[in-house]
Homo-oligomer: A and B are copies of this chain.
Amino acid sequence: MKFLKELLQNMLPITESEWDIIRNVIIEKRINPKEQLINDGQIAKAIYFVKDGLLRVYHLKDGKEITTYFSSDGLFISTYSSFITQKPTFEILEAIEESIVYEFSYQALNNLYQLDPKFEKIGRYLAEQNYLCIFERTLSMQTKTAKEKYLDFITTNHPKIVQRAPQHQIASFLGIAPESLSRIRREIVIS
C-alpha cells in the first residue's frame, strides 16, 4: 500500500496511527478479467484504488457498450455518480485484465470524515479529479476531431491504458467509429 500511502501523504499530513486506521478499513481484492466490481442496478458502495491492473466503467446504449472511464496503476475508479449519491447506477465497473485493487468503502470514508475533518480533503480530491476527468472528456467529445481526440488520449493517459485497452473500447470512449480509430492509428504510425 506504499503508493496509496504516498499519494495520501502528499495530500495531507497523516500520522502513523492514522495510517493504521486507514489501512485497516481498506480491503485488498484480486479480480479476474471481465469480473465486475459494481453492476448495473447496484449502489456503488466503494471506490477503488488500483494497485496493479486495468479496469473500466461502461454502460449499454442500444445494446452497445460505451466505455466512459479507464483506470490503471495508481489511479482510482468507481461508478462515481452512484458513489456520491448512494443511488443505483446504470453503469458497470469491470476488470479488463486481472487486477489488484484496494477497496475503500463509502462508509469507511465517511467514518474518516467523522474521525477528523481533515480527511474531507481526500473526498474533495476525489471529486475534483473526477470532475476534471469528465470535463476534459466531454469537451474533447464536443470540440475535437477524431485524430485530435486520439492524440490527446495517448498523451494524457496511463501507458497501460493506451497500450493494452482493447481498441473498440477506446473507440467508444472517444466517441469515434472503430474503423476511424484503425485509420488514425495507421496514419500516426506512418507519419
Among the listed B12, B113, B131, which residue makes an inter-chain contact with A127, where contact means beta carbons less than 8 Å apart? Answer: B131
CB of A120 closer than 8 Å to a CB of B: yes
Known contacts A118-B120, A142-B61, A130 near B131 by CB under 8 Å:
yes
Residues 103-159 (chain A) with a chain B CB within 8 angstroms: 113, 116-118, 120-121, 123-124, 127-128, 130-132, 134-138, 141-143
Residue from A66, A85, A134 having most chain B Cβ neighbours under 10 A: A134
Q: Which residue of B12, B84, B141 contacts A128 across the interface (Cβ within 8 Å)?
A: B84
Measured between beta carbons, the chain B residues less than 8 angstroms from A85 are 132
Q: For the complex, give the distance between the alpha carbons of A61 and B138 in Å.
A: 14
Q: Which residues of B contact A142 (CB under 8 A)?
A: 61, 66
Q: List 6 A-B contacts (CB under 8 A).
A: A81-B131, A81-B132, A81-B135, A118-B120, A124-B127, A131-B131
* A positions within 8 Å CB-CB of B: 12, 61, 66, 80-81, 84-85, 113, 116-118, 120-121, 123-124, 127-128, 130-132, 134-138, 141-143
